[in-house]
Each structure stands twice: as structure tokens, then as C-alpha cells.
């Protein structure tokens, strides 16, 4: 099954569209069907689109299974990086994020 983002949402997509798409396809992915997300024609896809889509789906299923069943096509390099980064976020635990953040926090607050 291929979802053409530009037909479903238009050329500009963000958090709301990511959540809507996650709601549309969650049951299919859980039923072990594969889905492809087609970025052709999308002008701007905000990082929050990827976070919302993959983060919401990762709440209901294993991230490895999600990665094997859901894939992007016709994405730009930046969209690909955002996709990978959001999958990485979905794998990162709160404790891991805390460890990474401690030193940066010190630098910011002085």
C-alpha cells in the first residue's frame, strides 16, 4: 500500500498530518501489512511530521517491526535524515536522553 502524501495532505505537512497518517495506518502495520509513504510533490515536511508519525506508531509496536513495514520513497536527503533521526528518537529511552543532555545543559546554563 502506498500513501501519496501530496494527495492526502497537500504540499506542506507537519505534526497534525503526521498524527493523522499514524492513525490511518497503525492498524494495518499491526496486522503486519507493509506501507510506503511517497514524498513526491511535498514541498515542506517539518521535523514534527516525522516525529509525530513515527513516535505515535512506535508507542504501539516494536520499532524494528515498524522500520521493516513502513518505508519512505521519493524523499529528499533531508527528509531521509529526518526519517532516520525520528526512528532513532523512537528507540532512545528517556534515561539515554538524560545522559546525553546533562553536559549540554550545563553549557547552556553556565
Residues forming contacts to another protein in the complex (CB under 8 A) are: 10-16, 43-48, 51-52, 54-56, 58-59, 76-78, 82, 85-86, 89-90, 92, 94, 97, 100-101, 104-105, 107-110
- Alpha carbon distance 93, 24 (integer Å): 26
Whichever of 1 and 61 has its CB closer to another protein, that residue is 61
**SS3 label, residue 43:** coil
Q: Is 28 exposed, middle or buried (0-12, 13-18, 19+ CB in 10 A)?
A: middle
Whichever of 21 and 45 has its CB closer to another protein, that residue is 45
Q: How far is the CB of 71 from another protein (least distance, A)?
A: 19
Whichever of 1 and 52 has its CB closer to another protein, that residue is 52
Amino acid at each position: 500500500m502506498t500513501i501519496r502524501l501530496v494527495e492526502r495532505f497537500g504540499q506542506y505537512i507537519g505534526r497534525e498530518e503526521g498524527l493523522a497518517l499514524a492513525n490511518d495506518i497503525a492498524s494495518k502495520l499491526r496486522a503486519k501489512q507493509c506501507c510506503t509513504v511517497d514524498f513526491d510533490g511535498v514541498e515542506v515536511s517539518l521535523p514534527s511530521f516525522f516525529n509525530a508519525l513515527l513516535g505515535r506508531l512506535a508507542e504501539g509496536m516494536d520499532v524494528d517491526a515498524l522500520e521493516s513495514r513502513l518505508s519512505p520513497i521519493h524523499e529528499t536527503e533531508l527528509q531521509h535524515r529526518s526519517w532516520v533521526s525520528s526512528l532513532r528518537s523512537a528507540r532512545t529511552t528517556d534515561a539515554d536522553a538524560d545522559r546525553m543532555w546533562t553536559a549540554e545543559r550545563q553549557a547552556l546554563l553556565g
